[in-house]
Amino acid sequence: MSKPVVGIIMGSQSDLRIMKEAAEVLDELKVAYEVTVVSAHRTPLRMVEYATAARGRGIQVIVAGAGGAAHLPGMVASLTSLPVIGVPVKSSNSIDGWDSVLSILQMPAGVPVATVALDGARNAGILAAQIVGAADAALGQRIDAFKESLKVKVETTAKDMETKGWRSAL
């Protein structure tokens, strides 16, 4: 692949079990990306360096996943004008994931973070591709084909269920 246009970052390596889904969908859509660990709490200077240098390295959107207090997406958004997509991760120290969701969702005016569902890294990857694809016609066509494949899959499943009965779908 070419130079990364999407940065996928996470607060700790344990978040990779969820965040890999963003990378997998970007692979599927042929979008170049990078993946690393950047902790808002344990490596704040690394976070500042990553966020402030991302645009200069060609990154167009950042997908940031974090669990628990989940400050990484918001802190990164405060340091860059690039779009940031937050992925709340249900972690071992989480309050059923709600602490992560609210930490990412409740950003102050002027520091937006697009937020996906709890453990929703796949959707974050798709959204990142759509953001990049808004100015890349070839990628836009791949995303259109991807969305069409989702439609076909649902229609095929519906037809099978209607002809074979609902029990066949279990």
Which residues fall in the annotated binding site for substrate? 12, 15, 42
The residue written with tokens 């997406």 in the block is: 73
Distance between CA atoms of residues 23 and 31, nearest Å = 9
Distance between CA atoms of residues 26 and 127, nearest Å = 10
Distance between CA atoms of residues 65 and 6, nearest Å = 13
- Residue 14 has what DSSP assignment? G
CA 126 to chain centre: 7
User: Strand order of the sheet with strand 114-115?
Assistant: 33-37, 6-10, 61-67, 84-89, 114-115
Structure token pair of residue 84:
């940031």
Across 95-106, b (16+ Cβ under 10 Å) vs e yields: eebebbbebbee
Binding residues: 12, 15, 42
